[in-house]
Chain A
Amino acid sequence: MTATEKKERKRESIMQASLQLFSLHGFHKTTIPDIAKKLGMSVGNLYNYFSSKDILAQEIIKYTSEVLGAKIREVNETDLSAQEKIRRIVEVYFVMSKEKPEMIEYFLRVYLSNREVFSEGCEGMTCVSGFITEIMIFFDDGVASGELRDQDFFSAFGLFMGYLGGMVFLKGEGVLPQEIEYYIDDISRNIYNALKA
């Protein structure tokens, strides 16, 4: 492993540890010493990788967006119908919320709730483009094939992602009576019915 690869791996482990702590205790209550302690490294060394907690938070949202984007890209690159792709994307999102809850929780409870941390460096879609781009490609393909109705991007995006985010938020609050997978079929059908041509 080269020195660069080693450093990259270390960066990723810092982001993963921080992701868990931020999602669990919140952004403000988690300190850099907490993160260093969890990783068994010195605070000074951690600053060699990320110069501030805000920068770390911004890098994490880029990282989670890339991870989720890569999963959706796999769906986009299949020959499935838009209807089936919707189901796959819902599945990817919900399964991730269960297997790596910190990823989605971070988006909902840190990124969306602490806008001041992201206002400089993560303007607009800058830090979530890895994910948004794949959703755009999904919509573009769906309209081009005639399966989805041409409409304003944000009307469709809000319906799709607002719905999924809302469900995962309810799951996080512990108010869903069923496991999250239980809702995949119905929600996929609802989204398809709303978006179809």
Chain B
Amino acid sequence: MEALKPRLLWLQSITCNGNTHSFLNHPDLFSILSHFELVYHPVLESSCMLHEVLARKAPCDILILEGAFSEQGMVKEGVEILDVALYYANVAEHIVTAGTCATFGGIFKGYDPDAISGFAFDEERQTARFERFSPKLISLPGCPIHPKWLSYVLMMIVQGRSIPLDAMCRPQELYNITVHTGCSRNEYFEWKVDTKGFGLKEGCLFYELGCQGPYTRGSCNKILWNDTSSKTVVGTPCFGCTEPTFPKAVLFETKTHMGIPASMPLGVPRRAYLTATGVAKSFKIKRFEERIITYED
């Protein structure tokens, strides 16, 4: 007899579907899902209908929440989604907040900042739900989440392995490094060489173009997107989408005070950073001033 599979319920609140769609890009999607009974999913075939989920008749071992939450007003078929989420959160063994909206409030929080938040966090602050659910909570911020961040969590759960989490319940494996880690432009960052524009292979995006990689937690340059690349590698700044403060208003400019970045790399004291910067800027390294590829016409 086949062992019982963990029952997975994917519930959406105030969302754009971005995390749902991102997960569909997983190259091993169906292999991963084969380890679970899919009780409900917004776009994939599953064993329950939405009305059954809303009627609180579905079983649930792992609850995946997508989208931000409002105490009142996010209603499907006459039912407050928050109430449904709370019901399954009580029943489930694991709760995964998939995406920045479900985790911190994200983009949808901007619509009504006082009323909308994440499930267990309102930006960096814990909501009233945190204390109750934090023992079984796993936060996966990202706009959207990388499909492999979610599969990492699901496969760890299915194998009965514990996932080391930080104080905001984020898996340390994924979020205890910054997006800067593994960026192909690290040499340019070290020697303080700016890029000359978007999309170029050369130069660092931190000084002029708003890159938030050095102070954004995430593994975008360790676990590549589509197994291929990342924003910063292709020459677009990191938008800091995994952070509780996401989204910031100006994404393509680095806020500076007399040329000094207003935000320091994660955990780096300003005095240490400025000292290292002053020294690095004192040298001109010819290789970093040149194009990587020279084309003949």
Contacts and interface: CB of A to CB of B under 8 A. Distances in A.
B294 interface: no
A133 B271 contact: yes
Given A124-B278, A125-B279, 14 more contacts: A123-B282, A124-B282, A126-B279, A129-B279, A132-B274, A133-B274, A139-B257, A139-B260, A140-B257, A140-B258, A143-B258, A144-B262, A148-B258, A153-B260
A151 interface: yes
Contacts of A130: 275
Contacts of A126: 278-279, 282
Contact of B258 (A123, A124, A133, A156): A156
B257 A143 contact: yes
Which of B258, B279, B281, B283: most chain A CB closer than 10 A? B258
A18 to B, nearest CB: 24
Majority SS of interface residues in chain A? helix
A112 interface: no
A73 to B, nearest CB: 8
Task: Say which size band chain A's interface belongs to.
Answer: 20 to 34
Which among B256, B259, B270 has the highest number of chain A CB atoms within 10 Å? B259
Contact of B281 (A124, A142, A150, A156): A124
A125 B281 contact: yes
Contacts of B270: 137, 140
Contacts, number: 57
Interface of B: 256-260, 262, 270-271, 274-275, 278-279, 281-283
A80 interface: no
Contacts of A142: 257
Contacts of A153: 258-260
Contact of A150 (B257, B271, B274, B279): B257
A5 interface: no
A197 to B, nearest CB: 11
Contact of B260 (A123, A140, A154): A140
A18 B258 CA distance: 36
Q: Which 8 A-B pairs have the closest CB atoms?
A: A124-B282, A143-B257, A153-B259, A125-B278, A129-B278, A139-B258, A140-B257, A123-B282
A125 B280 CA distance: 9
A151 B282 CA distance: 21
Nearest to B279: A126
Contacts of B259: 152-154
A54 B260 CA distance: 32
A136 interface: yes
Interface string A7-31: 0000000000000000000000000
B181 to A, nearest CB: 25
Contacts of A140: 257-258, 260, 262, 270
A81 to B, nearest CB: 16
Contacts of B271: 133, 137
Contacts of A136: 258, 260, 274, 278
Contacts of B260: 136, 139-140, 153
